Copies of this chain bind each other. A is one copy, B any other.
């Protein structure tokens, strides 16, 4: 799609400054602009780029005052960042509109599919599955028996959902992610072998949850592993059986959460964090990347860091001393000698 500056300005209720007929068909950061691209300038820190950008059109705030000549066509709007975000959304929506059902799918006769679906090639849908309206199942998705999927959900290519799991409305799951695999439960026998403990629960993803690529969320032993409304889970994350993730909690890539841990709402958890089983993380907790949480924590407003983790500021001060430990030891050795001499 290609639009003129005039069309975009009309759409955004903005004012064109420069050539209204210049056309753009793509978007870029102002510092990475090229001819045919649209960019925006909101943060004064980036002002210098507007004098050198190759972008053809730049959205700016109404009150922006240039101090040097500008090559690009400007569109003045009330809020350049908001206007740009609005355009991003439009582009995004225009792109994603896959529709229809491929001929090469296998849908069990007892499954029920809602209105206006997209079901890509090589999708399998199991017995008694219930798929809502306006759902998009990209190619090679697997939906097990008795799975429920809400309206407006998007499952990208190759997502696998095991039997009995429940996916809410407006849930998005990225490619390769597995929902509902067996929890890791084995009971040791006297002969050293392990006996599998059947994992008979399920996984529930509430509305507006988004899950990244190649993540794994195990089904509960009994009951449910639950990701609450609006939580955002990144790529390559491990969520074990019977875990509960609170509302609007955000978890960065490669973090692992062991069995039956309960993470509060509104938490922010960095990448590669490990949380042991059967503990509770309070609401609003912030955990720095690579930390290990091995016991229940109080949320005193500080970020925690370390393995095991404690207050971020304190950790930083301890680590600063750690980096000079050989000097500290030498000082102590020196003191020992001096004290010995004094004692004589």
Contact = CB atoms under 8 A, between A and B. Distances in A.
A317 B271 CA distance: 27
Nearest to A126: B139
Interface in A78-101: 85, 88-89, 91-92, 95
A319 interface: yes
A209 to B, nearest CB: 11
A222 B160 contact: no
Nearest to A231: B194
A239 to B, nearest CB: 9
Given A181-B212, A318-B323, A326-B321, A343 B338 contact: yes
A184 B218 contact: no
Contacts of A104: 104, 106, 122
A256 B253 contact: yes
A198 interface: yes
Number of copies: 3
B194 A248 contact: yes
Interface in A210-244: 210, 212-216, 218, 222-223, 230, 232, 234-236, 238, 240
A252 B192 contact: no
A70 interface: no
Contact of A317 (B106, B186, B326): B326
Say which size band chain A's interface belongs to. Answer: 35 or more
A111 interface: no
A235 B252 CA distance: 17
Chain A contact residues: helix, strand, loop or mixed: loop
B318 A289 contact: no
Contacts of A210: 186, 196
A73 interface: no
Nearest to A311: B323
A271 B256 contact: yes
A196 B92 CA distance: 11
A308 interface: yes
Interface string A164-202: 000000001011111001101010000011101110100
Contacts of A265: 192
Interface stretch (A2-10, A61-69, A129-137, A327-335): A327-335
18 contacts: A29-B223, A88-B200, A106-B122, A122-B124, A138-B142, A140-B142, A157-B160, A160-B213, A176-B176, A193-B208, A238-B271, A254-B274, A256-B271, A272-B292, A318-B322, A318-B323, A328-B328, A338-B339
